[in-house]
Amino acid sequence: MVFKKTTSETVLDIKEQNGFPMLVYPLLEQTGIVKHCFTTRQGGVSEGIFESLNLSFTRGDKKEAVEENFRRVAKALGTEYENFVFTDQTHTTNVKRVGKEDAGKGLTKERGYTDVDGLISNEPGIVLSTFYADCVPLYFVDPVHRAIGLSHSGWRGTVGRMGKVTLEAMNREFGTRPEEVICAIGPSICQSCYEISEDVAVEFKHEFHGHEEEILIEKGNGKYQLDLWRTNELILLEAGVRQEHLAVTNICTCCNDKLLFSHRASQGKRGNLGAFLALV
């Protein structure tokens, strides 16, 4: 499995567990208190446009295929099928604390909540789960207070500073201090592939005044290219995360659409990737 990268740096490693490939961050692994991954399209049983490891129940794939795909993720992570806890992603900046009583929500039982794009916990065993096909995964590991967070940040979440909101929630619930947190920005769409309209660009110009040249390229005709990676990096650094505690992806979902699902590359005909994080 060879990915096209935006830099030559090894930010993510490819791990295989019994033939099941997944992407992991050495920076997160080095904490010694979590297991995590970002999935690829490979290693599952789905077919057609969902080939092969689709993790969405809502895009038209067979339910039993998606369930089997989750069983394979669970096995690769060394956890149980019933331990996943899902978000309910609607491009908000809502973050929910979850615990063992939430195990299975979204997979084996009803969620009981809506409009949640971020999850935080300090309880070992449960697997925080978020889903993607171009948007940005944000991983948070607090080794001091043994707490974790995992958040979904599309352009709306990014302009709403989802990274900062997640850190604030972890501080409120667990006493987390940003300067002690190890963070990762996961595989998502790169600036070269991500064209936005002027109304979206205006929101970013307003929210990130002074950083316009870092995050936006004007193409003319009211079109811009947005760097979600750099924008989320700025958010985390301004929130107090240390540069040496932050890993930023160099793998684009759209550039690698044969290995990763991309909404933009497939024009919406796709499955979902998953980001997973659990305390051990």
pTM attached to this predicted model: 0.98
The reply to whether 206 falls in a domain is: no
b (16+ CB within 10 A) / e for 105-143 = bbbeeebeeeebbbbbbbbeebbbbbbbbbbbbbbbbbb
Residue 204 lies in a domain: no
Residue 237 within any structural domain of the chain: no
Would residue 224 count as lying in a domain? no
Q: Give the closest residue to 153 by CA, choosing from 140, 143, 144.
A: 140
Candidates 196, 191, 185; CA nearest to 136 is: 185
**pLDDT of 18 higher than 80:** no
Q: Identify the band that residue 166 occupies on the pLDDT scale cut at 50, 70 and 90.
A: very high
Q: Write the CATH number for 136.
A: 3.60.140.10
pLDDT in tens, 112-159: 999 999 999 999 999 999 999 999 999 999 999 999 999 999 999 999
pLDDT above 90 for 17: no
The pLDDT value given to residue 152 = 98
Within a domain: 223: no
| pLDDT of 19 higher than 90 | no
Q: What's the structural domain count of the chain?
A: 1
Write the pLDDT tens digit of every residue in 96-118.
999 999 999 999 999 999 999 99
Residue 220 lies in a domain: no
Structural domain range at position 121: 13-190+245-279
The first and second tokens of residue 64, run together, are: 């039993």
Residue of 90, 262, 98 whose CA lies nearest to 189: 262
Which DSSP letter does residue 252 get?
B
Averaged pLDDT for residues 166-181: 98
CA angle 125, 127, 131 (to 5 degrees): 180
217-226 pLDDT per residue, tens: 999 999 999 9
Please give the full DSSP string across 190-220, using - where no structure is assigned: -GGG-EEEHHHHHHHHHHTTT-HHHHEEEEE
